[in-house]
Amino acid sequence: MQDSSVVIVGGASGLGLATAQLMLERGARQVGLIGRNQQRLGDAAAELRAGGHDVAVAAADISTAASAHAAFDTLAAGFGRVHAMVNCAAIFPRRPLLEISDDDWDLENAINIKGTYHMMVAAVRHMRQFVDAPAVTGRIVNVTSVDAFKAHPQNAHYAATKAAVVSLTKSFAQECAADQILVNSVAPAGFATDRAKSLGFLPEVAKANPLGRAAEPSEIAEWIVMLASSRNTYATGENVVVSGGYIYV
């Protein structure tokens, strides 16, 4: 990540914050965090800046193109160039299959699919300005989930959106290859964020996992950072499953 500038969507907590921390440790020059909650963004930025790092924030409702693009463009203008973007933002309200309402579907789709799409469009439009074949122009990494491939109770609508993000990743990778923009995704099994701990399903994850535990966010972040870094010069359209052996696809 040496001397790179990176935008992380959903970077105020959990996996997004762990990814920001790791990227800065690996030499990223600047990291920009995008999220819905200005206070949480400020707290996350303060935590990272305490380590002497250059961190910027932009609040946005990524479910709308105007807000998503404005947030990205604000950060890009400050950085001059964004070398990589990571999409970590997602919601996962659990519901029994027969109780998923239209509002539930609309919210899941708005954040997990539309939001990811809007941020990818903003990144591609920016990165295309720096086409310098054969060098890589930019890198995008989306966070999907093993739920895209394996059903779980009370999670059908979330799983459907993550399957859609796998498909979006492949479509963007194909259409952006000529611009030397590499687009990949990472699909973790359940991992130990504060949110996951509060929902109480991590013991179930640990029991079902061959390694006997859920991953730490930093362990998933390692794979995101690799795909977003200059070490990745060829992988695109790939979905990397990081599940501790829970699922093989």
Domain count, the chain: 1
Distance CA 52, CA 33 (A): 16
- Determine, yes or no, domain membership for 248: no
Q: Could you tell me if residue 249 is inside a domain?
A: no
Full 3-state SS string of 157-212: HHHHHHHHHHHHHHHHHHHHHHHCEEEEEEEECCECCHHHHHHCCHHHHHHHCCCC
Residue 71 domain boundaries: 5-242
Residues of the chain with pLDDT > 70: what percent? 99
User: What pLDDT is recorded for position 133?
Assistant: 64
Burial class (CB in 10 A: 0-12, 13-18, 19+), 47: middle
Report CA 182 to chain centroid distance, whole Å. Answer: 14
pLDDT at 176 over 70: yes
Lowest-confidence range among 172-176, 195-199, 202-206? 195-199
- The reply to whether 247 falls in a domain is no
Residue 146 lies in a domain: yes
Per-residue pLDDT band for 198 (boundaries 50, 70, 90) equals confident
Cα distance between residue 155 and residue 159, in whole Å: 6
Q: Please state, in angstroms and rounded to a whole number, the distance separating the CA atoms of residues 84 and 74.
A: 15
- Tell whether 25 is covered by a domain: yes
As a whole number, mean pLDDT of residues 228-248 equals 94
Q: State the catalytic residues.
A: 158
What integer is the mean pLDDT of 191-215?
Answer: 80
Whose CA is closest to 232, among 119, 136, 132?
A: 136
Per-residue pLDDT of 23-47, as tens digits, reads 999 999 999 999 999 999 999 999 9
CATH of residue 77's domain is 3.40.50.720
pLDDT for the residue numbered 77: 98
Q: Please indicate, yes or no, if residue 78 is contained in any of the structural domains.
A: yes
Calculate the CA 74 to chain-centre distance.
19
Apex CA 130: angle with CA 128 and CA 132, to 5°? 110
Average pLDDT over residues 53-72: 98
- Position 143 in a domain: yes
pLDDT at 134: 72
Picking from 248, 145, 221, 241, the residue whose alpha carbon sits closest to that of residue 190 is: 145
What percent of the chain shows pLDDT beyond 90? 82
* pLDDT tens digits, one per residue of 85-100: 999 999 988 899 999 9
pTM for the full predicted model: 0.94
What CA–CA distance (Å, rounded) separates 96 from 98?
6
What tens digit of pLDDT does each residue of 124-162 get?
Answer: 999 999 997 678 999 999 999 999 999 888 889 999 999
